[in-house]
Amino acid sequence: EPEVTQTPSHQVTQMGQEVILRCVPISNHLYFYWYRQILGQKVEFLVSFYNNEISEKSEIFDDQFSVERPDGSNFTLKIRSTKLEDSAMYFCASSAGQGIEQFFGPGTRLTVL
């Protein structure tokens, strides 16, 4: 069964450093998403991506964040100048269309020291 994959599973970085989280969505899906979940809190939407551009973004997704689909398979989230409060699980998701189920990856645990 096709699944969303994410790498790395765990990333530790120093405050102020840049990180890139990588995702491979399900191959025939058209919509891609990033969410984050701070420990013990709810899943929060960051950004959605369709047709090679951002379609929606939340207030969390400020200039510190960027997304890219550098080739036909990968979908990346870049966080510049990381802060302690960026520590969270980051989930990538994809869907075949809008208004239907989203398939989530296993997540990347980001720890900012």
Partner 1 sequence: SQKIEQNSEALNIQEGKTATLTCNYTNYSPAYLQWYRQDPGRGPVFLLLIRENEKEKRKERLKVTFDTTLKQSLFHITASQPADSATYLCALRGNTPLVFGKGTRLSVIA
Task: Write out the residues near partner 1 by the rule CB under 8 A.
Answer: 4, 33, 41-45, 48, 56, 58, 89, 91, 93, 99-107
In sequence order, what are the residues at sequence separation of 6 or more whose Cβ sits closer than 8 angstroms to the Cβ of residue 63?
none
* 39 vs 84, beta carbon nearer partner 1: 39
Residue pair 104/95 in contact (Cβ under 8 Å)? The answer is: no
Amino acid found at 101: E
Give whichever of 72 and 99 is closer to partner 1, judged by the CB atom.
Answer: 99
Q: Specify which residues 102 forms β-bridges with.
A: none
Phi/psi for 76 (5° steps) reads -120, 150
Of 48 and 87, the one with the shorter C-beta distance to partner 1 is 48
Closest to partner 1 by CB, 14 vs 41, is 41
- State the Cα–Cα distance between residues 24 and 61, nearest whole angstrom: 20
